[in-house]
Amino acid sequence: MDYSTLAGYLVHEWQLSGSKQVQALVDEHLTADSIVNWYEREKPDVVFTMDHNARSWLEKAGYRCPEDFGFFVFNCYNRDSTVSGVYPEYENLGAAAVEQVSGLLERGEFGVPTAPRCLLVPGLWCEGQTIHRT
């Protein structure tokens, strides 16, 4: 599990002391019960998740999206998603990875690198219909 998103959220929350703080739900195996119980306890304005099922679980519990809660995913399935969130640009990420590996091979670099590099390809914002504008 990658905790970088959670870390960013916690730092932002810490910087906004005095505002409504929402306890993050960290669960590698999210269930309908865990998300509904968390939502009822925390009452967030927006649910940020990687699990597309969370929206339907909350709707089955009687909550309306986007009227009662906004819904945002970090991994939209396509560029024209009706769900608000970020499309990870899988095609560009794959192309950049191939370019990086190709460069390593051309330079004769093999094995585990002594100084690992990170590859960052910005995602594409998907407006969707699951966040209510105020």
> Does 22 reside within a domain?
yes
Average pLDDT over residues 80-93: 93
> What is the pLDDT at residue 4?
79
Cβ count near 63 (within 10 Å): 16
> Does 31 reside within a domain?
yes
Q: What percentage of residues in the chain have a pLDDT greater than 70?
A: 96
> Does 26 reside within a domain?
yes
31-43 confidence digits (pLDDT tens) = 999 999 999 999 9
> Does 32 reside within a domain?
yes
Instruction: Give the range of the structural domain holding residue 30, as residue numbers without chain letter.
Output: 3-88
Among residues 82, 56, 81, 51, which one has the least CA distance to residue 69?
Answer: 56
Task: Give kind and range of the element (H or E) at residue 54.
Answer: helix 53-60
> Does 69 reside within a domain?
yes
> What is the pLDDT at residue 112?
87
Q: Total domain count for the chain?
A: 1
> Does 74 reside within a domain?
yes
Average pLDDT over residues 115-127: 90
60-71 confidence digits (pLDDT tens) = 999 999 999 999
DSSP for 61-109 reads TT--TTTT-EEEESS-SSTT-SSEEEE--HHHHHHHHHHHHHHHHHTT-
16-29 confidence digits (pLDDT tens) = 776 778 888 988 88
pLDDT-derived band at 1 (thresholds 50, 70, 90) equals low
Radius of gyration of the chain (CA): 19
Distances (CA, A) of 102 to 97, 110, 111: 8, 11, 14
